[in-house]
Amino acid sequence: MKHYNDMEMMIVAAAKELENGVTIAVGTGAPCAAAMLAQKTSAPDLIIFFEAGGIHPTLVEMPISVGDSRTFYKASRAGSMGDVMDACARGLVDYTFLGGAQIDMYGNLNSTMIGKDYTKPSVRFPGSGGANDFASLCWRTMVMTIQDKRRFVRKMDFITSPGWLSGHDSRSNSGLPDQTGPHRIITNMAIMDFEPVSRRMRVISLHPGYSVDEVQDNCGFELLRSDSISVTPEPTDHELKVLREDVDPEKYLIGR
């Protein structure tokens, strides 16, 4: 019997990807929880940017909006969207954490619409927000999402934010900044990276209790498999305590 749930595992695994002292642009929800957890455990000097202008806040509670006052509480600066996005464009932001309704094998993301006809969407989602900007301009994009066939799709209805586009050199040929692109995909079951030549998604680590076949069964395209797939470390008692008591005491995310 595991003493943690899937969402807790995903947030803890994502937090561990952040080295101390790096800069990161995040939105609300699970990505913000991961950044908060990292700041309170392994990466106390993590510098968090919010797209509406909050720079380097002390996160006392989880923001509801990327522009609410918690995003610049005891911050180094309450700036503007231009400040934050310009910093990304100049190469000052190492990571971004994103989510999306759909993701494909190259890490492209859809947060705009579902349906065959763009002018008559069957479901309209919010759109890019800052996601396309972050995925274009931050050095490394990381995605947190639930492992599910409806999310991991062969064919996207809409590419909102760029991953490796159509693989190989297509991203660098597009004009997007050099050496940027998707880095890690963290789900409730596994961690994936991208094979360096084809730029296709590849399983590199499995969370305890999950098999590579289970991950594949919950994915709409063929996943590559690393030669040496590791097992993701279980959340420590300390990480779980901080996550449950300090990061998400209301259980907005980890209660699901």
Partner 1 sequence: MMITKQGSGGLFTDPDPDKARLFFRNDKRNARMMKSKIMPLSRAMDWFVRDGDYLAIGGFGSNRTPIAACHEIVRQKRKNLGFLGHTSTHDMQILSAGEVYDRIDISYGVGLEARGLSRCSRSYMESGRVTVTEWTNYSLTARLKAASMGVPFLPARQMLGTDTFERSAAKQATCPFTGMELTLIPALFPDVSVIHVHEADCYGNARFNGIAVSDIELAHASKRLVITAERIVPHCEITRNPDATLIPFYLVDAVCEVPYGAYPGGMPYEYFSDEENLNAWLLAEKTAEGFAEFIQREIFDCKDHNEYIGIHGGIQRMIELRNKELLIEKEVIV
Candidates 23, 41, 71, 102; binder of partner 1 (CB under 8 A) is 71
Binding residue (CB under 8 A) for partner 1 from 5, 20, 58, 69: 69
The residue (of 130 and 218) whose beta carbon lies closer to partner 1 is 130
Under the binding rule (CB under 8 A), the answer on residue 128 touching partner 1 is yes
To the nearest 10°, report the CA torsion of 223, 175, 92, 160. Answer: -50
251 near partner 1, judged by CB under 8 A: no
Please count the residues of this chain forming the interface with partner 1, following the rule CB under 8 A: 60
188 binds partner 1 per the rule CB under 8 A: no
As measured in angstroms, the least distance from the Cβ of 205 to partner 1 is: 28
Q: Strands 77-78 and 54-55, how do they pair?
A: antiparallel
Query: What is the pattern of x (binds partner 1, CB under 8 A) and - over residues 12-51?
Result: ---------------xxx---------------------x
Q: Closer to partner 1 at the Cβ: 54 or 203?
A: 54
Residue selected from 4, 97, 158, 194 as contacting partner 1 according to rule CB under 8 A? 158
Instruction: Look at residue 13 and give its three-state secondary structure.
Output: helix
**Tokens coding 240:** 């779980």
**Residue 65 in contact with partner 1, rule: CB under 8 A:** yes
Round to whole Å and give the CA distance between 157 and 220: 14
Has 51 been annotated as catalytic? yes
Query: Chain centroid to CA 59: how far?
Result: 18
According to CB under 8 A, which one of 22, 146, 176, 223 is a site residue for partner 1? 176
Catalytic residue among 8, 17, 51, 239: 51
3-state SS, residue 54: strand
Q: For strand 47-49 and strand 23-26, is the pairing parallel, antiparallel, or unpaired?
A: parallel
SS3 48: strand
Residues 54, 224: Cα–Cα separation, whole Å: 38
Rounded to a whole number of angstroms, the minimum distance from the CB of residue 243 to partner 1 is 17
3-class SS letters over 107-148: CCEECCEECCCCCCCCEECCCCCCHHHHHHHCCEEEEECCCC
Q: Which of 92, 159, 223, 224 binds partner 1 (CB under 8 A)?
A: 159
Q: Is 160 in the site for partner 1 (CB under 8 A)?
A: yes
Query: Quick check: 56 and 74 in contact, CB under 8 A?
Result: no
Q: Minimum Å distance from CB 70 to partner 1?
A: 9
Residues in the chain: 256
Q: What is the CA radius of gyration of the chain?
A: 17
Q: What is the DSSP letter of 72?
A: G
Residues 88-127 that bind partner 1 (CB under 8 A): 88-89, 108, 112, 118-127
Residues belonging to the active site: 51
Q: Which residues bind partner 1 (CB under 8 A)?
A: 27-29, 51-54, 60, 62-69, 71-73, 78-82, 85, 88-89, 108, 112, 118-133, 136-137, 158-162, 165, 170-171, 174-177, 252
